[in-house]
């Protein structure tokens, strides 16, 4: 079945435009609710959101949809995506729903769905929900309409769960940590968890106003974090994105450390302790060749998937890995979470920092990455990758690499962007090839 609404990470788009309208959110609630009405028990959905202005509108519309088909709704307010997945499972809910467009600007929003096991929905479940969206909903009799309630201790539950992933014998006393919450979903829970573990916390991006989420802050805009770390003399900085399922780190010198280096650190540490499962790491085609070589040097493997943390997790589950993620900072540690969790991943990094006694600049440089460049080209429609001129530019670039690098050109699954990436031994050539393909895409 053709996927008309679901992308690589739920449903996402510009608010008040299809598919991110209140009417569509209500239909999604009705369709998803109907799909998960299984068994004779009282059905329940856990509903969270980030801090976008449109979150109120989407939350109300989804509640209307779920309750109209007989589902009770538990609202948890602004909470990280992994917290919603955790609470859905721990509360024995039939469904978890997160209203967020992750790292996108505030004008966008999205709907992420989790099954009763806390995992993102399968392709089959998403296809079934899409089919239901095309039909008139089956509304329940008045006496069977669902109820909605808000729970006040959701933040505390998640903070406790996150802290339980940190080694019990360690503390963060004496460590100065800057945490950038992107004015998003983790603006309360992340600083609180770090403080409770003993860190000297400097919190930025913790003043959401509905429109400043990811605006010059967070994992996709680390300049503010870099400046704060160096100017405050902090030991390390951690940046989350709008829904806190992504992590980027800055060392004490203000240098950015991406997800590849973080996966290398965690996998290596877990391997030494005998805790690493699957014999390696699962990552996407975007991960640097340097990570692959680093793991091979330790007798470990790098299993690559297509872009999207759902595909990383699918491979982890089917092949028995417990560490996986994306260069962009989605890091999945399946011993602790069913989806990417920026705070939990950060706590693993901080544990290694405390244990090693090294400065972050030394600890976090696990390997020397090959020169790699990624650029995005925005487009307004059509199929620029099908243009003969673009195909010719790509073929020419591949020939010039002569097998000493990688080229990856793809359409984003969450935004109207063409992503162009090249990697190789020759940095100047990498830049030249990316620019030539981007110019061809723009012209097309």
| Per-residue pLDDT tens digits for 236-294 | 999 999 999 999 999 999 999 999 999 999 999 999 999 999 999 999 999 999 999 99
**Range(s) of the domain holding residue 394:** 372-443
Considering 138, 154, 170, which residue would you say is the last residue of a domain?
Answer: 154
Residue 355 domain-assigned (yes or no): no
- CB proximity list for 87: less than 8 A, separation 6 or greater: 46, 48, 74, 76, 79, 93, 96, 154, 157, 158
Token reading at 48: 């969270």
The CATH number of residue 410's host domain is 3.30.310.50
Distance between CA atoms of residues 120 and 372, nearest Å: 30
Same-domain pairing of 45 and 118:
yes
Does residue 306 share a domain with residue 242?
A: no
The verdict on 268 and 250 lying in the same domain is: no
- The CATH number for 278's domain is 3.40.120.10
Segment (H or E) for 428: helix 427-443
Residue 1 has pLDDT above 60, yes or no: no
The token pair at 299 is 């007798």
Domain identity same for 145 and 181: no
154, 173, 202 — which closes off a domain?
154
Question: Is 362 a domain residue?
Answer: no
Confidence grade of residue 308 (pLDDT, cut at 50, 70, 90): confident
Nearest to 287 by CA among 320, 262, 313: 262
Is the pLDDT at 193 greater than 90? The verdict is yes
**Rounded mean pLDDT, 183-211:** 98
**Do 263 and 253 belong to one domain?**
no
The answer to whether position 346 is within a domain reads no
Are 314 and 412 contained in the same domain? no
The mean pLDDT of 198-214, rounded to a whole number, is 98
State if pTM tops 0.75. yes
CA 290 to chain centroid:
22
**Band of pLDDT at residue 379, cut at 50, 70 and 90:** confident
Shared-domain flag, residues 181 and 200: yes
Decide if 259 contacts 329 (C-beta within 8 A): yes
Burial letters for 62-95: b for 16+ Cβ neighbours within 10 Å, e otherwise? bbbbbbbbbbbbbbbbbbbbbbbbbbbbebebbb
State the catalytic residues. Answer: 102
**Residues 37, 25 within the same domain:** yes
| Order of all β-strands in the sheet with 6-7 | 6-7, 10-14, 108-114, 95-99, 44-49, 72-78, 148-150
Residues 276 and 250 reside in one and the same domain: no
Helices (H), 273-359: 289-297, 309-319, 342-356
With a pLDDT cut of 70, the percent of the chain lying above it is 99
Cα separation, 345 vs 331, in Å, equals 6
**CA separation for the pair 45, 443 (Å, rounded):** 47
Rounded-to-integer distance, Cα 132 and Cα 30, Å: 9
- Position 2 pLDDT exceeds 70: no
Do 60 and 137 have their domain in common?
A: yes
Question: By percentage, how much of the chain surpasses pLDDT 90?
Answer: 81
Number of structural domains in the chain: 4
Domain final residue, candidates 97, 123, 154:
154
Looking at the DSSP bridge assignments, the partners of residue 419 are 376, 410
Arithmetic mean of pLDDT over the chain: 94
Q: Tokens in use for 70?
A: 């007989």
Region 35-47: what's the mean pLDDT? 92
Tell me: pLDDT of 422 over 80. yes
Asked whether residue 191 falls in the same domain as residue 331, the answer is no
Are 101 and 37 within one domain? yes
* Domain contains 352: no
The one-character DSSP state at 90 is: H
The alpha helices in 250-325, defined as continuous H runs, are: 259-272, 289-297, 309-319
- Cis (ω within 30 of 0) for the bond into 169? no
């Amino acid at each position: 079945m053709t996927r008309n609404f679901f992308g690589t990470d739920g449903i996402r788009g510009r608010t008040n435009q299809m598919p991110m309208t209140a009417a569509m959110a209500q239909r999604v609630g009705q369709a998803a609710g109907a799909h998960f009405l299984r068994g004779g028990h009282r059905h329940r959905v856990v509903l969270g959101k980030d801090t976008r202005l449109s979150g109120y509108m989407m939350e109300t519309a989804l509640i209307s949809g779920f309750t109209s088909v007989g589902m009770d709704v538990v609202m948890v307010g602004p909470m990280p995506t992994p917290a919603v997945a955790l609470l859905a499972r721990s509360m024995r809910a039939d469904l978890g729903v997160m209203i967020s467009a992750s790292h996108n600007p505030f004008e966008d929003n999205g709907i992420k769905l989790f099954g009763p096991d806390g995992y993102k929905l399968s392709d089959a479940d998403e296809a079934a929900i899409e089919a239901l969206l095309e039909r008139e909903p089956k509304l329940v009799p008045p006496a069977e309409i669902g109820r909605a309630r808000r729970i006040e201790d959701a933040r505390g539950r998640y903070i406790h769960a996150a802290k339980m992933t940190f080694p019990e014998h360690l503390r963060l006393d004496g460590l100065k940590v800057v945490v950038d919450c992107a004015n998003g979903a983790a603006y309360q829970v992340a600083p609180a968890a770090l403080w409770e573990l003993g860190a000297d916390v400097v919190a930025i991006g913790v003043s959401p106003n509905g429109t400043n989420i990811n605006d010059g802050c967070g994992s996709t805009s680390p300049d503010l974090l870099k400046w704060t770390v160096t100017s405050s003399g902090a030991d390390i900085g951690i940046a989350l994105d709008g829904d806190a399922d992504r992590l980027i780190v800055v060392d004490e010198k203000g240098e950015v450390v991406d997800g590849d280096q973080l996966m290398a650190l965690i996998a290596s540490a877990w391997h030494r302790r005998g805790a690493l499962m699957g014999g390696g790491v699962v990552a996407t085609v975007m991960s640097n060749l340097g990570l692959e070589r680093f793991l091979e040097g330790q007798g470990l493997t790098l299993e690559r998937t297509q872009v999207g943390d759902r595909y990383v997790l699918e491979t982890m589950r089917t092949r028995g890995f417990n560490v996986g993620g994306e260069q962009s900072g989605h890091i999945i540690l399946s011993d602790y979470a069913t989806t990417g969790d920026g705070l939990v991943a950060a706590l693993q990094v901080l544990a290694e920092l405390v244990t090693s006694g090294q400065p972050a600049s030394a600890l976090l440089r696990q390997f020397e990455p090959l020169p790699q460049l990624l650029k995005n080209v925005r487009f307004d429609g059509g199929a620029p990758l099908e243009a003969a001129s673009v195909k010719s530019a790509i073929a020419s670039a591949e020939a010039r690499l002569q097998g000493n690098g990688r080229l990856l050109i793809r359409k984003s699954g969450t935004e109207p962007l063409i992503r162009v990436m090249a990697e190789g031994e020759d940095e100047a050539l990498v830049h030249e090839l990316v620019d030539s393909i981007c110019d061809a895409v723009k012209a097309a």
